[in-house]
Amino acid sequence: MPSQPRERLWFVLPGVLIIVLVLLIPILAALGLSFFSYPLQRPDLGIHFIGLDNFKRLLADTTFMNSLWRSVQFTVGAVASEMIVGTILALLLKSHVWGKSFFKVAFMVPMMMVPVVVGVAWRLFLLPDFTPLGPIFQFLHIPFDTSKLLTDPGWAMFSVILADVWQWSPFVMIMMLANLQGIPDDVYEAAQMDGASRWKTFWTMTLPLVAPALLSVAVLRAMDAVRTFDLVYILTSGGPGTATEMVSVYNYKIAFSRYDMGYASAVSTAVMIVLAVVIFGALYMLSRGGKKR
């Protein structure tokens, strides 16, 4: 072979370089900036080294802690619902139904839509007093005040989760469908021969077979859900009050409405640390789960 190992590094260099430049260096910069005071709107104050002051402020910042907790609520709520809805859809589409390919394509549309537009669509759809759900609920005699959906703190979080489920359940569906199709038919034939019911086959055969895939799809989705920004920003922009202000939105607001760049970097650093702990914890558990099998 003409190309030597050293020369081959040139092939991966551009790709690696661009990632280092745009992603890794900024992370280090954020880490460094978190020890500085850097109010962008007051250039007269300049940039000062203030040691751990930002982090001290952070630990006492209840808004930050609450936003972190809301991110957890959102992520758990959305990902769990998406896993259930997506898996049900995949199971239905795997079985014998009419209009299969039509449904498959139609269900993919929400997933590919611009997240900003998903926010716009749900905002218009749920606007208090103007939501078409009001008349529908009235017609069905469901006593529910639909104006709560964006104005009541608890229901607002529900609405944001609902919109996320609307957009991302199809992703789980596609992934699970690919996995279900990978299960050889003779597994099912054998089960049928043994006289196992459909219900029992699902719990004892299908579910254990796709469990590793379920887990990895859930991890993928959780990683995306934690950093959800566009959807929340457009749908509720964190409101009512701070009821749906997740850590991504809070971080953004500190940086780009208060222009407090030092403190924003401290928030970013804290988020990175929390995420790293969670991700490595999850990976550790995943690898241990893999060994047991």
Partner 1 sequence: MNSRKLKIHLFTGFKTGILLLFFIFFMLPIVWVALTSIKRPVEQMAIPPIWFPEQPVFDSYLTLFQNPDFATSLVNSLLISGVATLITIVIGAIAAYSIERFRTGGRMLPNLLLMTRMIPPVVVIVPIFLLAYRVNLLDTYVLLIITYSALNMALIIWLLRSFFAQLPVEMEEAAMIDGCSRIGLFFRIVLPVVMPGIAAAGLICFIFCWNEFLFAVTLTGSHTKTMPVLTSTFVSERGLDRGLMSASGLVSSLPVIVLTIVFQRYLVSGLTQGSVK
Which 9-68 residues touch partner 1, going by CB under 8 A? 9, 11-12, 14-16, 18-19, 21-27, 29-30, 33, 40
The answer to whether 211 contacts partner 1 (rule: CB under 8 A) is no
Phi and psi at residue 281, to the nearest 5°: -60, -45
**Smaller CB separation from partner 1, 60 or 112:** 112
**Smaller CB separation from partner 1, 92 or 205:** 92
The nearest distance, CB 42 to partner 1, in angstroms, is 15
Q: What is the DSSP letter of 37?
A: E
The only residue of 73, 131, 201, 242 in contact with partner 1, by rule CB under 8 A: 131
Q: Which stretch binds partner 1 (CB under 8 A): 52-60, 152-160, 185-193, 209-217?
A: 209-217
Phi and psi at residue 28, to the nearest 5°: -65, -40
The nearest distance, CB 81 to partner 1, in angstroms, is 12
Positive or negative, the CA dihedral 174, 179, 184, 190 is: negative
Positive or negative, the CA dihedral 283, 284, 288, 291 is: positive
Q: Rounded to whole angstroms, what are the CA distances from 146 to 37, 135, 159, 214?
A: 45, 9, 11, 34
Q: What are the tokens at 71?
A: 């991110």
The answer to whether 90 contacts partner 1 (rule: CB under 8 A) is no
Q: What are the tokens at 73?
A: 């609520």
Q: What are the tokens at 32?
A: 């460094």
**Smaller CB separation from partner 1, 37 or 248:** 248
Site string for partner 1, 225-264 (x = CB under 8 A): -xx-xx--xx-------------x--xx--xx----x--x
The only residue of 46, 63, 65, 130 in contact with partner 1, by rule CB under 8 A: 130
The only residue of 179, 206, 236, 244 in contact with partner 1, by rule CB under 8 A: 179
Q: Which stretch binds partner 1 (CB under 8 A): 52-60, 75-83, 114-122, 199-207?
A: 114-122
The nearest distance, CB 32 to partner 1, in angstroms, is 9
The CB density around residue 155, as the number of other CB atoms within 10 Å, is 20
- What number of chain residues touch partner 1 (CB under 8 A)? 93
The answer to whether 8 contacts partner 1 (rule: CB under 8 A) is yes
**Smaller CB separation from partner 1, 22 or 60:** 22
State how far Cα 166 lies from the chain centre.
12
Do residues 239 and 152 lie in contact, with contact meaning Cβ atoms separated by under 8 Å?
Answer: no
State yes or no: cis peptide before 153, omega within 30 of 0: no
Q: Rounded to whole angstroms, what are the CA distances from 247 to 137, 232, 252, 254?
A: 34, 11, 8, 11
